[in-house]
Amino acid sequence: MTQSPATVVVVEDEPVIAEAVAARLRADGHRVEVAADGLEGVELCRRTRPDLVVLDLMLPGIDGYEVCRRVQAERPVPVLMLTARDDETDVVVGLRVGADDYLTKPFGARELSARVAALLRRAARTPEAGARLRLGEAELDPVTRTANRGGSPVHLTPTEFDLLARLAERPGAVLSREQLLADVWGWRDAGSTTRTVDTHVAAVRRKLGDGVVRTVHGVGYAGGAA
């Protein structure tokens, strides 16, 4: 499937990794800008308004968590974070501050390309005008990709929005974590990564209230309170 070229900002302080990531993404046809520290990354995102950010967690100056907070506060953008170890705490904190997906170093070039392509595909979806979605007190506008609760705007990351939209599109249906990972993240054979779904559900509940997503123990999640 051919994808339009995207602008990608890579924030990575290890030159070898930064060069390898940038080279792969350029080979995939994307425009790539590279920053070597957190503050430079924030400024580069502000200046270039990228379609996606590849963000290392451990950076000089300000760390990847703070970079993600600042970037998402200014403009929602898909973020693929890079972590040096498969530490659940690192991953959970990164997802909570607005990252959409993660890769554990070392990772393969094909996996990087696949994750980036999946995030860009989701961000490029263009639903029909007027098709507003509701979950509890939350209302989602798929065209503007905005959300509100009781008429008050609520900031959601791209993945948080897509997760809620998927549940709202299937009213009453219970979707397993594996199914949500496939539908929202584009992951197959997810294994232990189902924790990613739980972390995003917790994040949207903090923003929109517990009634927005219902847990069906032993099965998965459904839209709305029980």
Task: Write down the domain spans for the chain.
Answer: 7-123, 133-223
Q: How confident is the model at residue 112 (pLDDT cuts 50, 70, 90)?
A: very high
Q: Which two tokens stand for residue 147?
A: 């959300």
DSSP-derived pairing of the beta strands 101-104 and 133-135: unpaired
Q: Is the pLDDT of residue 121 over 90?
A: no
Contact call for residues 10 and 39 (beta carbons, < 8 A): no
pLDDT given for residue 170 in this prediction? 82
pLDDT given for residue 83 in this prediction? 87
Closest CA to 193 of 46, 184, 40: 184
Please provide the DSSP assignment of 175-197 as one string: EEHHHHIIIII--SS-GGGGHHH
Contact call for residues 210 and 132 (beta carbons, < 8 A): no
pLDDT given for residue 225 in this prediction? 59
Q: How confident is the model at residue 134 (pLDDT cuts 50, 70, 90)?
A: confident
For residue range 62-86, list pLDDT tens digits in order: 999 999 999 988 888 999 999 886 6
Q: Is the pLDDT of residue 191 over 90?
A: no
Query: Which residues, in sequence order, are CB contacts of 152 under 8 Å at separation 6+?
Result: none
Class of CATH domain 133-223: mainly alpha
Question: Whole-prediction pTM value?
Answer: 0.68
Return mean pLDDT, the chain.
Answer: 86
pLDDT given for residue 127 in this prediction? 53
For residue range 4-49, list pLDDT tens digits in order: 689 999 999 999 999 999 999 999 999 999 999 999 999 999 999 9
DSSP-derived pairing of the beta strands 175-176 and 152-154: unpaired
Span 7-123 CATH architecture: 3-Layer(aba) Sandwich (3.40)
Average pLDDT over residues 194-200: 84
- Residue 36 vs residue 3, higher pLDDT: 36
Q: How confident is the model at residue 1 (pLDDT cuts 50, 70, 90)?
A: very low
